[in-house]
Chain A
Amino acid sequence: MKTTRRTTILLALVLLALPLAAFAASPSDAGTRWLHVRVVDRSDDGESVRVNLPLDLIASILPEIDIEPHIKDGRVTLAPEQGVQLGDLRAVWAQLRQAADGEYVRVEAGDGNVVVRKAGTLLEIDVQDGPEGAEKVRVRAPLAVLDALFSAPEGEIDLAAAITALAEAGIEDLVQVEDGESSVRIWIDDRPEAP
């Protein structure tokens, strides 16, 4: 008799909790990674651009965009006549991917220099140009993202796969460009920009 009563009370509690739980359920955005782009032009008539998009949103929509013959299934087709020799790039990347960590390109000329190095999970590109290196470009590209980008069939790059890989990469700063009068920064973090 005691067991029956306990079971009844338990069943009663479950029945009462069910509708409450159903009404209380709400979507959560915990863990969402955001892609941020900042462009600041400090000249008199300069403009500033701020773009903040959840990587999940980009990853969901990209595969659905169909702009024949350029974008389909999240992949972008780059024809040689567009000035991009994708085959050569892919071959260079395949060689670099297999190589050990280290500095692969260093160009020092006049008041500028270029350094390309592979360090751990990143491909690092640093460019300095102009008097006292006033123009600077700093790129940190996760190798997994480049792998994903070049995983598409010949003549294409897989942008959707690259975005997915980017969301999983534990990196923040991707691109920083500074030329004295303007700056560009592209980075990823877990924070939206508050309205």
Chain B
Amino acid sequence: MPRPRVTLAAVLVATLLLTAGGVVVLAAAEVWRAGTFVLSVRDEGPNGARVAVVVPGIVATLAAVAIPFMLPDEAAARIRPAAPAMRALASELAGLPDAVYVAVEAPGERVLIASRGGVLVIEVDDGPDHVRLAIPLHAARRVLRSVAFAAQRTR
């Protein structure tokens, strides 16, 4: 076999291996990128309680697939007018940089909506009640798109 053909064949094999490796890396990255949902509710009152829920973000990806089959017709009809805006928001979510988007502070009260490391963070402090919600942006994007699709479908 002439040398150029051998070189080309070797490069083709290397390219195939790189692509296959890339796909595996992307799949792993997808699981990592999906991150985790965190919901924490804390009540510091006399009968205070604390609840924290941590769910792998990949669950949201799977849920996004199921939403079009599970969303009741009545809910779909209610959401339908907002579906185009949800779809537009979903498109923009992925590109959101880390930033504070809304912050309201008053004595004993605080609301924060921010993005940190690809995670949308919502924090609400109202007196003794504290709520923290962390949603990976990629997962939120998938869910938004799926809900918008489900709302606009016709049965």
- Among the listed B8, B18, B84, B116, which residue makes an inter-chain contact with A8, where contact means beta carbons less than 8 Å apart? B8
Q: Does B99 contact A (CB under 8 A)?
A: yes
Query: Once the chains bind, are A12 and B8 in contact (CB under 8 Å)?
Result: yes
Query: Once the chains bind, are B7 and A23 in contact (CB under 8 Å)?
Result: no
Chain A-chain B contacts (Cβ-Cβ < 8 Å), number:
107
With both chains docked as a complex, state the minimum distance between the C-beta of A15 and any C-beta of chain B, in angstroms.
5
CB nearest neighbor in B for A192? B99
- Among the listed A4, A9, A192, which residue makes an inter-chain contact with B97, where contact means beta carbons less than 8 Å apart? A192
B12 partner residues in chain A, CB cutoff 8 A: 15
One of A41-49, A87-95, A179-187 at the interface: A41-49
CB nearest neighbor in A for B83? A64
Question: Which 9 pairs from chain A and chain B are nearest by CB?
Answer: A192-B99, A47-B106, A12-B11, A64-B84, A64-B85, A50-B103, A195-B114, A8-B4, A64-B88
* Partner-A contacts on B (CB < 8 A): 3-4, 7-8, 11-12, 14-15, 18-19, 22, 25-26, 81-82, 84-85, 87-89, 91-92, 94-107, 109, 114-116, 121
Q: Does A57 contact B (CB under 8 A)?
A: yes
Known: A12-B11, A194-B98. 5 other contacts (CB 8 A): A16-B14, A34-B99, A52-B102, A192-B99, A195-B100
B91 partner residues in chain A, CB cutoff 8 A: 60
CB nearest neighbor in A for B4? A8
Q: Does A27 contact B (CB under 8 A)?
A: yes
Query: Once the chains bind, are B8 and A51 in contact (CB under 8 Å)?
Result: no
Query: Once the chains bind, are B26 and A47 in contact (CB under 8 Å)?
Result: no
